[in-house]
Amino acid sequence: MAKVVLENLYKSFPSRRGEPAIAPAAAETLGMPTQEVPIPKKVDKPTSQFPRVSVLRSINLTVEDGEFMVLVGPSGCGKSTLLRLIAGLEELTGGNIWVGDRLVNSLPPKERDIAMVFQNYALYPHLSVYDNIAFGLRRMIKGEGDNAQGNTRNWAENLLVGITRSLPKRLRYLSEKEKAIDERVRNVAQLLQIESLLNRLPKQLSGGQKQRVALGRAIARNPQVFLMDEPLSNLDAKLRAETRSQIVKLQRQLGTTAIYVTHDQTEAMTMGDRIAVMNQGKIQQIAPPLEIYNRPANRFVAEFIGSPPMNFLPVQVRAPLLITHSQFRLTLPEMWENLLTPYDGRSLLLGIRPEHLSISPPAPKNLSVKVELVEALGNDTYLSVHLAKDINSSLQVRIPPDCLVQVGESIWLSMALDKIHLFDPQTGNAIG
């Protein structure tokens, strides 16, 4: 097992002819020049001469030995590219990748001792489950016949192994190498409870079963590191939740360092020892799940983690502790005093999660709102509301299921004062 260290990684791809190096909006947030680089008139090898699209920038991440690290972020933010860099499927533009004490920057994938599981399973359709799991092992485990003199014997043995595989166990021919492989395949199958599927072809499996076979193939190789790229995306909700906890249990059992990519914040929150939130090619925050939830480093993280997402309201600061909005004013707890002093007279963005708003009597510190939508889920009820005096505003509220509210009703909401977040509207960074 091994620690994985990513040091100042950069990745850019050659852009296609005529495309700007990077979308102007994205370029601005990344702090890059937005003008297009002129395209040379005559080009033999288009890709080498065109401006490049920057996909990952200044990625620094240490995944501890045995840790389960989740990379989460919206589609297109560079998660798969980062995983492929670690696996050796893409070439680095800059930076270093360490697996244990080995610098693996220029090692080919098979020498990195890493196993990857993809969303689309990537099983060999013509091979049985058994052979899909054994496939990588046959190359990895060295047997007696794996040298020049042994070639003929090896060939004959393989033939015998193949011919007798479907026979009852006592009639099967197994070389020493095959015996080792057989033991490994059966152990893994037992671990994943897919023993009864070993003779089936992938097309005879359900999505969940296929994904377990793909996991089995990765586990069988006993790698230093597991990389998983949205492995549950093709499963239905119930199976996804089941497989999610199975993967976590397995990883704990095996103690193998894991880096797991997802765009699903529930997966991130429930699976990760720590979460790295990514946006537009950069890591926004690395922390344990509840710290990410309770202390988001910036507005992006605050909005991305949590469902329904955090609500935001523009407010003015009046030191020491007063926060004003055209429709309410409130005094924050004293712990804010030092933090707010530099912002006296300035605008900030107040963030409050749906579960930290509650129905309350009218008061100057509370929000007068009108209910637009009521979603009763049984265990919880969600309200969509707008501020009474601002029909374009929109807030989400979570209330207890026994609380009866009608669409069109006017109500007052109070904020849990110790659950308020404040963000700098220019940088998006959290204050405090």
Site for Mg ion, rule CB under 5 A: 80
Segment 173 to 232, residues that bind ligand ADP, using CB under 6 A: none
- The token pair at 142 is 């060295």
The torsion of the CA quartet 40, 42, 43, 49, rounded to 10 degrees, works out to: -10
Give the whole-angstrom CA distance, residue 14 versus residue 48. 7
From 73-81, 353-361, 382-390, 408-416, span contacting ligand ADP (CB under 6 A): 73-81
Cβ of residue 340: shortest distance to ligand ADP, in angstroms? 36
Identify the CA nearest to 311 among candidates 373, 240, 239, 395. 395
Tokens of 149: 């003199």
Residues 6+ apart with CB under 8 A from 77: 278, 279, 280, 281
Peptide bond into 168 cis (omega under 30): no
CB of 13 to ligand ADP, least distance (A): 3
Nearest partner of 396 among 367, 431, 421, judged by Cα: 367
Give the burial class of 256: count Cβ atoms within 10 A of its Cβ; 0-12 exposed, 13-18 middle, 19 or more buried: buried
Q: Does 79 bind ligand ADP (CB under 6 A)?
A: yes
- Listing from the earlier edge strand, what are the strands of the sheet with 381-387? 357-360, 410-415, 367-376, 381-387, 390-399
Q: Is 67 helix (H, G, I), strand (E, B) or coil?
A: coil
Supply the minimum distance, in Å, between the C-beta of residue 16 and ligand ADP. Answer: 8
- Contact residues for 10 (Cβ-Cβ < 8 A; gap 6+): 54, 56, 57, 58, 59, 92, 93, 94, 95
Q: Which stretch binds ligand ADP (CB under 6 A): 29-37, 72-80, 213-221, 346-354?
A: 72-80
We find the least distance from the C-beta atom of residue 159 to ligand ADP, in angstroms, to be 41
Could you tell me the two tokens for 125? 């359709």
> Among Mg ion, ligand ADP, none, what does residue 78 contact (CB within 5–8 Å per kind)?
ligand ADP
> E-assigned strands of 24-64?
52-63
**For ligand ADP, which is the closer residue by CB, 89 or 201?**
89
Please give the Cα distance from 69 to 379 (Å, whole number). 30
Interface residue with ligand ADP, options 80, 175, 224, 285 (CB under 6 A): 80
What CA–CA distance (Å, rounded) separates 251 from 117? 13
Tell me which stretch binds ligand ADP (CB under 6 A): 77-85, 191-199, 326-334, 374-382: 77-85
Judged by beta carbon distances under 5 to 8 A according to partner kind, the member of ligand ADP, Mg ion, none in contact with residue 124 is none
Our finding on whether 76 is near ligand ADP (CB under 6 A) is yes
Name which position in 61, 77, 215, 301 contacts ligand ADP (CB under 6 A).
77
81 binds ligand ADP (CB under 6 A): yes
**Interatomic CA distance for residues 6 and 23, integer angstroms:** 26
Least Å distance between CB 234 and Mg ion?
A: 13
Tell me the two tokens of residue 306: 């949590």
Q: Number of residues interacting with ligand ADP: please give it, by CB under 6 A.
A: 11
Helix (H, G, I), strand (E, B) or coil at 139: helix
Give the nearest distance from C-beta 210 to ligand ADP in angstroms: 21
Interacting stretch for ligand ADP, rule CB under 6 A, among 75-83, 236-244, 306-314, 378-386? 75-83
Of the two residues 65 and 303, which places its CB atom closer to ligand ADP in the complex? 303
Q: Pick between residue 78 and residue 145 the one whose CB is nearest to ligand ADP.
A: 78
The DSSP secondary-structure symbol of 418 reads G
Q: Which of residues 147-166 bind ligand ADP (CB under 6 A)?
A: none
55 contact choice in ligand ADP, Mg ion, none (CB below 5 to 8 Å, kind-dependent) = ligand ADP
If the CB atoms of residues 73 and 231 are measured against ligand ADP, the closer one turns out to be 73
Q: Which does 81 bind (CB under 5 to 8 A by kind): ligand ADP, Mg ion, none?
A: ligand ADP
Nearer to Mg ion (CB atom), residue 54 or residue 80: 80
Residues 319-348 touching ligand ADP, rule: CB under 6 A, are none
Binding to ligand ADP (CB under 6 A): which residues in 1-60? Answer: 13, 53, 55
Asked if 75 touches ligand ADP (CB under 6 A), the answer is yes
Binding interface with ligand ADP (CB under 6 A) = 13, 53, 55, 73, 75-81
